[in-house]
């Protein structure tokens, strides 16, 4: 069963949140419902600063993302079923 809640929120916060939710293909109510559900289930709320990579890490991430987009998987490890095969592959990369 659904219910209606009414609460006050800054217009700017609502607009920004709605824009982000829309970019994810979700209605804002889904975001609010998920956050409230997590709060009720866990009986806590976490506030964390966003993770912002430094310049060196950002450069490496950008390079990796470009390689993935371009289908260039040379710098990425294949999957292995045995640890020995993974170790041998790593030694070949030197």
8 A C-beta contact, residue 42 and residue 54: no
The pTM score is 0.49
Position 28 scores a pLDDT of 94
Position 93 scores a pLDDT of 84
Q: Which residues contact 74 (CB under 8 A, 6 or more apart)?
A: 67
Domain 1-47 has CATH 1.10.1220: yes
Q: Which residues contact 53 (CB under 8 A, 6 or more apart)?
A: 61
8 A C-beta contact, residue 17 and residue 28: yes
Position 58 scores a pLDDT of 95
Residue in 28, 27, 25, 3 with CA at minimum distance from that of residue 13:
28
Domain residue spans of the chain: 1-47, 55-92
- Per-residue pLDDT tens listing for the chain (94 residues): 889 999 999 999 999 999 999 999 999 999 999 999 999 999 998 888 888 999 999 999 999 999 999 999 888 889 999 999 999 999 988 7
């Amino acid at each position: 069963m659904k219910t209606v809640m009414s609460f006050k929120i800054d217009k700017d916060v609502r607009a920004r949140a709605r824009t982000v939710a829309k970019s994810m293909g979700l209605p804002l109510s889904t975001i609010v419902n998920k956050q409230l559900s997590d709060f009720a289930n866990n009986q806590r709320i976490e506030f964390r600063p966003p993770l912002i990579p430094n310049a060196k890490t950002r450069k490496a991430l950008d390079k990796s993302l470009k390689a993935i987009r371009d289908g260039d998987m040379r710098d990425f490890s294949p999957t292995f079923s045995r640890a020995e095969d993974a170790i041998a592959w790593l030694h070949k990369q030197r």
